[in-house]
Amino acid sequence: MTQRKETVQTNQTESPSTRGGLGSKRPSRRVVEGHTRPCDECGDVSWELDLSRGEITCNSCGLVVEENVPDPGAEWTNHDSGQDRSRVGRPMTYTLADKGLNTTIDVRDLNTGTASRHGMSSRARREWRRRRVIDERSKTRRSRERNLVKANQYIRDRSSLPQPLQEEAARLYRKLSGEGFVTGRSIAGVTAACTYLVARQEELPRQIPDIADAFDITEKDLSRLIRQVSRRLNLHKITAPNEYFDKFISDLGLEPSIRIPLDNLWQTIEPHEDIWQGKKPMGVAAALIYKATQETGTTRTQSEVCTVANVSEVTLRGLLRLIDGLIEKIRAREALE
């Protein structure tokens, strides 16, 4: 392992993640394929892939942990006089069991209209359909390939994640499958856990009941698998209540202007971590949104807020009492000053 001086010099300034105090922020986690654990030198999880040099370095201390990394992207060198420089197919994707590298016989080319345009007879179409079935079966002879096909189908159809996050969830599942973690466990459960963890890492949190319903598993099994997978892949992260604000505001049909008083309330209680840490982040977010709607006059009932946040009204009222008590203490302290 080597260390680049220019990288170290650019990272000597103190970042917000290293400063103490109430306004400090948690360090961001930036991972690349094969590097999800903390750096051996500084302990930070902030990896960067430099394709021009083919190196993976730590953003905090500049440690080079891998060299001569192959570029998985398409080659754009033009050896012809034409305008089209693409000489290869689409890049690899983890959402397919073969990463999209195998040649497939598209079923759309064998329907009546397309085959007729290609000059294929009905007998030729039957032969090619038989060859297509044999080709598909030959690619999934091993149990691991069949496992990946099923898991990737779950991620594509049920995760409701953007395409880049589907890629990351499929990559995590492939890594777990290669380590033997999936053996003896539900494919739907492990894919659901990967979906939940990827969404949480990218600050697009999904609620456990919603993912459990989408993947047709129980909440208890999903919670257990989330804990096991997060320990296995070192993907621990505390979800803050403000990450749920946009989703709950959209589900309740509130105006975007509600964010101003809502953010003010969150900034008031955020430094007091003993109030909201250890509580359900969805419940704290629901209590803050309910209080903001009461202050702005765009009221929503406790039942409506609890239905969106998936918490009970008893939990909501208990959190409201804690938040109201904290705000009264802060105002009393400010009045004395």
The pair of three-digit structure tokens given for residue 135, joined into one six-digit string: 């080709």
In a domain, 125, yes or no: yes
Domain boundary among the residues 216, 233, 250 is at 233
pLDDT at 96: 76
Q: Is 60 exceeded by the pLDDT of residue 157?
A: yes
Question: Quick check: pTM over 0.75?
Answer: no
Asked if 245 and 328 sit in the same domain, the reply is yes
Asked if 50 and 127 sit in the same domain, the reply is no
Which secondary structure element, helix H or strand E, spans residue 56, and what is its range?
strand 55-58
Report, as an integer, the average pLDDT of 232-247: 85
In a domain, 92, yes or no: no
Report, as an integer, the average pLDDT of 203-219: 89
In a domain, 167, yes or no: yes
Asked if 210 and 266 sit in the same domain, the reply is no
Asked if 120 and 173 sit in the same domain, the reply is no
Residue 306: CATH number of its domain: 1.10.472.10
Q: Is 70 exceeded by the pLDDT of residue 20?
A: no
pLDDT at 79: 56
Q: Is 60 exceeded by the pLDDT of residue 214?
A: yes
pLDDT at 325: 87
pLDDT at 215: 93
Asked if 261 and 323 sit in the same domain, the reply is yes
Domain boundary among the residues 233, 265, 295 is at 233
Neighbour-count burial of 220, counting CB atoms closer than 10 A to its CB (0-12 exposed, 13-18 middle, 19+ buried): exposed
Which secondary structure element, helix H or strand E, spans residue 57, and what is its range?
strand 55-58
Nearest to 91 by CA among 77, 73, 71: 73
Least confident stretch, 36-40, 116-120, 136-140, 299-303: 136-140
Asked if 163 and 209 sit in the same domain, the reply is yes
Q: What is the DSSP string of 116-175?
A: HHTT--HHHHHHHHHHHHHHHHHHT-SHHHHHHHHHHHHHHHHS---HHHHHHHHHHHHH
Nearest to 305 by CA among 297, 296, 293: 293
In a domain, 97, yes or no: no
Taking the alpha carbons at both ends of the chain, their separation in whole angstroms is 55
Enumerate the β-bridge partners of residue 30.
46
Q: Which of 201 and 5 is assigned the larger pLDDT?
A: 201
Q: Which of 20 and 311 is assigned the larger pLDDT?
A: 311
Long-range contacts of 107-110 (CB under 8 A, 24+ apart): 107/132
Domain boundary among the residues 193, 209, 233 is at 233
pLDDT at 140: 67
Rounded to the nearest integer, the mean pLDDT of the chain is 80
pLDDT at 67: 86
Asked if 132 and 159 sit in the same domain, the reply is no
The pair of three-digit structure tokens given for residue 283, joined into one six-digit string: 């419940």
Q: What percent of the chain has pLDDT above 90?
A: 17
List CB contacts of 277: < 8 A, sequence separation 6 or more. Answer: 238
pLDDT at 300: 86
Round to whole Å and give the CA distance between 329 and 269: 11
Residue 191 lies in domain? 143-233
pLDDT at 25: 46
| Residues written for the chain | 337
In a domain, 40, yes or no: yes
Q: What percent of the chain has pLDDT above 70?
A: 83
Asked if 262 and 325 sit in the same domain, the reply is yes
Asked if 226 and 258 sit in the same domain, the reply is no
Task: Give the pLDDT band (50/70/90) at residue 110.
Answer: confident
In a domain, 259, yes or no: yes
Q: How many domains does the chain have?
A: 4
Asked if 46 and 127 sit in the same domain, the reply is no
